[in-house]
Structure 1
Amino acid sequence: MAAKRRAQMVEETRAKLIQAARQAFAAKGYAASSMDDLTAEAGLTRGALYHNFGDKKGLLQAVVDQMDAEMLVRMRAARDKAGNTWQGFMDESIAYMEMALEPEIQRIMLLDGPAVLGDPSQWPNQNACLRTTMETIQGLIDEGTVRPVDAEAAARLLNGAALNAALWIAAADEPRAVFERVVDVFRSLAEGLLRSGSH
């Protein structure tokens, strides 16, 4: 019983630190967020932070992971509302780019995340995303919607286009205007994969 309670306390501590960090990183940015303020906000010590996440960068990674999981749920919801697999794939990709308009996602996932954690296309979650996209494209090839192309190459190119669009939107002076521009072009690029008469 004691071990179960201890595990629950560890989970609560992690959750408090992630929540405090997420609020601080969204409001002030990663660089300006003080670890002392953050731990005080969570009612915890700096030791708890280092014990659970190693350092500030480890804490940012945990925040990014949490936000990424939430974004994935939203993207899947957009996909699942569509009438067919192709439309679902388009809606999911556009939902991802549209999230780049949200200040918290802009700052943490698309500005500070890449600056601190490196190239987002190399983040662990991107492998899962790439695999899913590849499976979707292969399914679309198998059903005859998409021309018989290399599914991995198509997945890497489309995921790269969506990621670069999101990074551009997040860094733009007029994010909404950039979003409007990229959506049409992304659709045109993706539709180049369709068999003639498929859409």
Structure 2
Amino acid sequence: MARKARTEMIEETRTKLLSAARQAFGTIGYADTSMDDLTASVGLTRGALYHHFGDKKGLLEAVVKEMDVEMDARLEQISHAAVGHWEGFVGRCRAYLAMALEPEVQRIVFRDAPSVLGNAYSQSSQSNCLASMARMLQQLMDKQIIVRTDSESLARLLNGGLVDTAFWIASCKDAEISLSTSLHSLSLILNGLLLNK
């Protein structure tokens, strides 16, 4: 039997640690996750964790980045599956808020990441979202679907509101009701952008 290549072994170790961390952070939370228990659960040592991620905080950052990529991919699918550009944009905004109800996303992305990783990480993780939202808004303006304004500033206003609302939904006792009321408010705001109402 051939030995695994070093790069394959490194990737396998990273994947094991990320998977175990995501499971632990998503169920018991960052604060209650023991690094000894986590590494032992996948047959590794703390040394492997430190080598690949630096520390527990670095591991959380890697998990959140992985989840951000997955969330963006899901939102992109919604945009592409929609019947039109406007419907895709609205569907994307609505789906982002609905993600705040998913237990893993709620705990890791909307609760633990902001408190552990701080504001700097939140801002850097939003840069891709802002750029894609600004592009979508500019397309909607160019197609004369929404009123013309500066697409970057509008993207910042909308994205900031969506992010803040998602954090609020994730922390509410009755998140389902909060999501419902938020989606109604979102519709009012977005419909106000339309040229032909």
* Match of residue 60 from structure 1: 60
Shift of 1:120: 7.5
Output the TM-score relative to the length of structure 1. Answer: 0.94
Is the partner of 1:119 in helix, strand or coil?
A: helix
Match runs of 1:3-14 below 5 Å: 5-14=5-14
* Match of residue 25 from structure 1: 25
Q: Residue 60 of structure 2 contacts residue 113 of structure 2 at CA under 8 Å; is this kept in 1?
A: yes
20-29 or 72-81: bigger deviation? 72-81
Cα distance in 2 between the residues matched to 1:94 and 1:181: 12
* Match of residue 102 from structure 1: 102
* Match of residue 188 from structure 1: 188
**Amino acid of the structure 2 residue aligned with 1:186:** L
* Match of residue 146 from structure 1: 146
Cα distance in 2 between the residues matched to 1:78 and 1:141: 20
Equivalent pairs, count: 196
Q: Share of identical aligned residues, percent?
A: 47
Cα distance in 2 between the residues matched to 1:100 and 1:178: 10
**Amino acid of the structure 1 residue aligned with 2:173:** D
Cα distance in 2 between the residues matched to 1:152 and 1:90: 17
Match runs of 1:110-125 below 5 Å: 110-119=110-119, 122-125=122-125
Q: Could you report, residue by residue, the CA deviation over 1:35-67 in whole angstroms, capped at 9, with x for unpaired residues?
A: 000100111010000000000000000110111
**Amino acid of the structure 2 residue aligned with 1:48:** A
Is the partner of 2:8 in helix, strand or coil?
A: helix
* Match of residue 92 from structure 1: 92
Cα distance in 1 between the residues matched to 2:38 and 2:139: 46
Q: Residue 114 of structure 2 contacts residue 122 of structure 2 at CA under 8 Å; is this kept in 1?
A: no
**Amino acid of the structure 2 residue aligned with 1:146:** I
Match runs of 1:155-174 below 5 Å: 155-174=155-174
* Match of residue 73 from structure 1: 73
**Amino acid of the structure 2 residue aligned with 1:104:** E
Output the TM-score relative to the length of structure 2. Answer: 0.95
